[in-house]
Amino acid sequence: MDEYSVEYLLIFKENKQYSNSKQAIKNLFNSIYNVHGVSENIIEFEKIQIQYKILLTKRQKQKRIYYNISFIIEGERNIEVFSIFLRQFRELFGKLTDKHIETLWDDVNLYYSNKGYPYIYKLENLMRRLISEFMILNIGDKWVKNNIPGEVEKSIKDTNNKTNNYLHYVDFIQLGNFMFKKYCNKEYEYVKLIELIDKTDDNSELSIEELKKYVPKSNWERYFSSIIKCNENYLCKKWDSLYKLRCDIAHNKPFNKNNYQTLEKLYNEVSEVLKKAILSLDTIIINDKEEVRDICFGWIFDEDSLKRAQEEINNRILHPLPRSVELKLAKKRLERIKELMQMRQDLIRN
């Protein structure tokens, strides 16, 4: 049968009668609610038996007495009751020691951390799968070139391999930043906006639609708000709460039953949302009559768009403007449409 041990170091002032011997400490055990008896090495608490050991060390110069106290139970089924005893022990002795209680070992925290970690692992990889699959299918296998927030990119700057399995080099919190941090697409960075303004003599030549391309947006706004069926703030807060619990486990902070139940609840809520979003990726069907969204530039094209773009270019050629900015933009748009139309046809044929 498995054993679970918890060990504390308690510090008392030397002149306190209630702490000047091992027997005095044993007497204090009887003050804990629902303790039915204390023998040489066994505490009867509720319906379980708790083994204990006490080691006493005195430091005359410091005028302190140090107690190393360990508690041991057998069987996973007794952990919940054991946790109640430990909480009451800490409350009582915390008052007597002015909160000078150091936890040296805690198998109860380890137990609940081991139970909780799979939830973190599954959620982290569900988010990775959703992002990777969506971006590859809709943006292409080179999506990492232009669609990564700067904070996320900096977090893995020392990684040699930045193309294959990119998100496996990104930790839990950066997956949230990938989704919710606003950034400029690298094709529309501020430097390029300044260059565009410098090259333009007349502000009237800069359209609102052109300038909007330089406004920072999150990947949630760009891509995921339409496929993840929940509020952005809802998911962002849940992810932050999960990150804090993840850090508690990773950094050996106290992690008890309440923490575990909170994590379990968050897992059930968030995993359901992510799983539904992943399933929706498999239901996307492209056919001849369907418009295809150019996610990179945020507009929809079909055969009529191609004709309108061609007519616009012909009109500019027949009626030239003083400057050729609009003509260049129209040509660039036409080239992009043709490229995407070809991609669309390839998808249909495959």
Query: Which position has the higher pLDDT, 156 or 205?
Result: 156
Say which residue, 163 or 92, is predicted with more confidence.
92
Going by C-beta distance under 8 Å and a sequence separation of 6 or more, which residues neighbour residue 245?
116, 120, 255, 259, 262, 263, 266
Is residue 112 scored above 60 in pLDDT? yes
- What pLDDT score was predicted for residue 283? 59
Band the pLDDT of 216: cuts 50, 70, 90. Answer: confident
pLDDT of residue 126: 96
Which sign does the torsion angle of CA 190, 196, 201, 205 carry? negative
Q: Which residues pair with 300 in a beta bridge?
A: 293
What's residue 184's pLDDT? 75
How many Å from the N-terminal Cα to the C-terminal Cα in the chain?
Answer: 58
Q: Environment class of residue 287 by beta-carbon count within 10 Å: exposed (0-12), middle (13-18) or buried (19+)?
A: exposed
Both tokens assigned to 248: 């508690």
| Predicted local distance difference test score (pLDDT) of residue 291 | 35
Confidence band of 188 (pLDDT split at 50, 70, 90): low
Quick one: 133 exposed, middle or buried, by C-beta within 10 A (0-12, 13-18, 19+)? middle
The last residue of a domain, from among 66, 99, 132: 99
The answer on 274 and 152 residing in a single domain is yes
Structural domain range at position 342: 292-349
pLDDT of res. 325: 47
What is the reported pLDDT for 183? Answer: 83
pLDDT of residue 165: 81
Same domain, 139 and 238: yes
Q: What percent of the chain has pLDDT over 90?
A: 50
pLDDT surpassing 70 at residue 34:
yes
Q: Are 152 and 271 contained in the same domain?
A: yes
Final residue before a domain boundary, out of 69, 99, 129: 99
**Count of structural domains, the chain:** 3
**Whole-number mean pLDDT of the chain?**
80
Distance between CA atoms of residues 116 and 111, nearest Å: 9
Compute the average pLDDT of residues 188-214.
58
Residues 55 and 76 in one domain: yes
pLDDT band at 2 (very low <50, low <70, confident <90, very high): very high
Look at residue 83 and tell me whether its pLDDT is greater than 90. yes
140 and 235 in a single domain? The answer is yes
Question: Average pLDDT in the 77-82 region?
Answer: 96
Cβ atoms of 29 and 121 closer than 8 Å: no
> Minimum mean pLDDT among 117-131, 190-204, 269-283: which range?
190-204
Helix (H, G, I), strand (E, B) or coil at 9: strand
- Please tell me what DSSP assigns to residue 17: G
Residues 161 and 58 in one domain: no
Task: Quick: pLDDT tens for 269-303.
Answer: 999 999 999 998 865 443 333 333 333 333 334 45
